[in-house]
Structure 1
């Protein structure tokens, strides 16, 4: 773990330990983010690291740990990236803070041959763990049901996938999101509530449909379950979706839309048809897109903190890696946390009229 400071002098971990008045092992624990160090000692060692300009050698850390300190992230290219923008940046930042780098792999085919090839490449790169970040579409994740995951030398964590025995899954409770969105509309005395869903081959969309249906059953409105139309997640499917819902139920008084982008299309179509929102038709979405507060009218929606989901998945993976090697968890993920995240309701004018966010 040697390095060179700006003056050209080699600075070692032993130099840091000597200045901090601790053992080299303790200094190493601080560098590696171990929780087995007091806050006072950690602060003192970190201060000495800054003073001396010490930077751990990644190669030395890999040799010491006997691992690559690399995590594989597998995306589904057929539908774009789940791990993009703020979510991916947050994951990179979280990994970097615990001394890991990320290796991305893109897949558009999840046949057994393609999965075997992907896992073979990950093994060749000696990744310490894998995050399956692509959304579950159709049978894309079915290989998890019968693959001998216990034979893999590294753990795997899936994101926003169907729960499976023996597989760590981190994601949102989309059933509860659909249920709570519908309950909000019911609380406003809406009784003819339609649903514009995401693509029906998506696990997330299926769960939101089931949550909407459950809330309708609770309210004694099973007939409304016929008012469901499939969309594409995108704005261009919102207008046709509303038209179809109005064909199914001409006196529709509310619609739960499974994405804010589709809800924008719904609002535009309602305006074109002269339908008063929210007077005649209450509209709510899900995602809390940054632009949704500026729709006309501003959109009631449900938050979905995707960056947090990505970071929780990464911390879960690091804990599983530590479990396999009998090591303490790094300070950044020492606390166990729930792998099932929940949405939060954001009420705006599209359901309640003139209200504050």
Structure 2
């Protein structure tokens, strides 16, 4: 069968669907003033005719480029890379292109040139996906951006009048410790991530608070910090085993460092979970294949990215329609406990 190379036009779609071109346009742009039945019918015709709306035409009509900027860092880590995957998927489904900028230095505060370059590309909004590390959010106080410019922040402490999306680091840590307590462990240490990271501090605070609620003593010698890498976990768990000899369980700040705990325990003849219970954080795919399989806290980085896109589009559309100023409430995605053999005593 010969397929025509000629692209369908919006008029042809409207004629085939028996509606006006304005109705087709409303469906394409996901406007609310279309009945569900009409929307479904028109969308079927669009799909059948393989109609591809012109991005240039959309941008001229709506005064939008349909391009989002994503500023990210640390793509070698599981969290940022999975988040970017979620952003990419959601943006594509919403009809937006992405312009990505990776910052190599987490602590970068001279961000004005970055914004100038992105805005010169006429992006409709920015998703700031750089994790909060040290003082790398100080620039917000004197942001070079227009206060009304659409921007969503990820992986940082909530701030007034800002759109912030993050995972429940604090709640997840409390859940991990609660599980170990339920299993009968008495002396629960913590192998933390880097404490200049907001996420690292949140997880450590959750560990501390949950133990204190049970009347357990918490000392600095009960904690050692790594830098999220498996390599750093080796030295950290060696230090923790030395300075906290009574420890019979450990909550580890991420799964990659937890791998070091399992390996070091094996080398030293420490039986897991009988001698030492272990819980990680992140639920990376490999955690189910560690030995023993790792109990961990699942956080949906991919969904964080999807919600970031939903939020930025909401802000963009509100601004385009000159709606009232949006009231921003921080969005914290729930975490969940994934129980495996590393923390369940026989």
Alignment map for 1:187-336 (pairs within 5 Å): 187-224=182-219, 226-326=221-321
The answer for the alignment partner of 1:95 in structure 2 is: 91
2:71 matched to 1:74?
yes
Point out the more displaced range, 309-318 or 184-193: 184-193
Point out the more displaced range, 299-308 or 75-84: 75-84
Contact between 2:78 and 2:284, CA under 8 Å: does it hold in 1?
Answer: no
The answer for the alignment partner of 1:28 in structure 2 is: 25
The answer for the alignment partner of 1:332 in structure 2 is: none
* Correspondence for 1:13 among 10, 14, 17: 10
The answer for the alignment partner of 2:127 in structure 1 is: 131
SS in 1 for 2:53: coil
Shift of 1:148: 6.0
C-alpha distance in 2 between matches for 1:349 and 1:285: 12
Q: Which runs of 4+ in 1 moved over 6 A?
A: none
2:52 matched to 1:60?
no
C-alpha distance in 2 between matches for 1:47 and 1:181: 47
Report Cα offsets for 1:282-305 as digits up to 9, x if no partner: 011011111111111111001011
The answer for the alignment partner of 1:351 in structure 2 is: 343
The answer for the alignment partner of 1:143 in structure 2 is: 139
- Provide closer, same or farther for how the CA distance between residues 228 and 164 of structure 1 changes in structure 2, counting only shifts above 3 A: same
- Provide closer, same or farther for how the CA distance between residues 308 and 52 of structure 1 changes in structure 2, counting only shifts above 3 A: same
* Correspondence for 1:44 among 41, 44, 48: 41
Report Cα offsets for 1:267-322 as digits up to 9, x if no partner: 11111111111111101101111111111111100101111010011111100111
C-alpha distance in 2 between matches for 1:10 and 1:267: 58
SS in 1 for 2:111: helix
TM-score (norm 1): 0.89
- Provide closer, same or farther for how the CA distance between residues 38 and 353 of structure 1 changes in structure 2, counting only shifts above 3 A: farther
Report Cα offsets for 1:232-272 as digits up to 9, x if no partner: 11112222222211222112110000111111100111111
- Provide closer, same or farther for how the CA distance between residues 13 and 337 of structure 1 changes in structure 2, counting only shifts above 3 A: farther
Q: What residue ranges of structure 1 are gaps of 5+ in the alignment?
A: 329-335
SS in 1 for 2:4: coil
Aligned length: 340
C-alpha distance in 2 between matches for 1:245 and 1:44: 63
The answer for the alignment partner of 1:121 in structure 2 is: 117
C-alpha distance in 2 between matches for 1:308 and 1:143: 27
Report Cα offsets for 1:172-203 as digits up to 9, x if no partner: 12111111111111111212110000011111
TM-score (norm 2): 0.91
Point out the more displaced range, 87-96 or 157-166: 87-96
SS in 1 for 2:282: coil
Report Cα offsets for 1:60-95 as digits up to 9, x if no partner: 1111111111100001259768542x5433322211
Shift of 1:48: 1.5
SS in 1 for 2:209: helix
Point out the more displaced range, 71-80 or 132-141: 71-80
RMSD: 2.3
SS in 1 for 2:59: helix
Contact between 1:127 and 1:154, CA under 8 Å: does it hold in 2?
Answer: no
The answer for the alignment partner of 2:332 in structure 1 is: 340
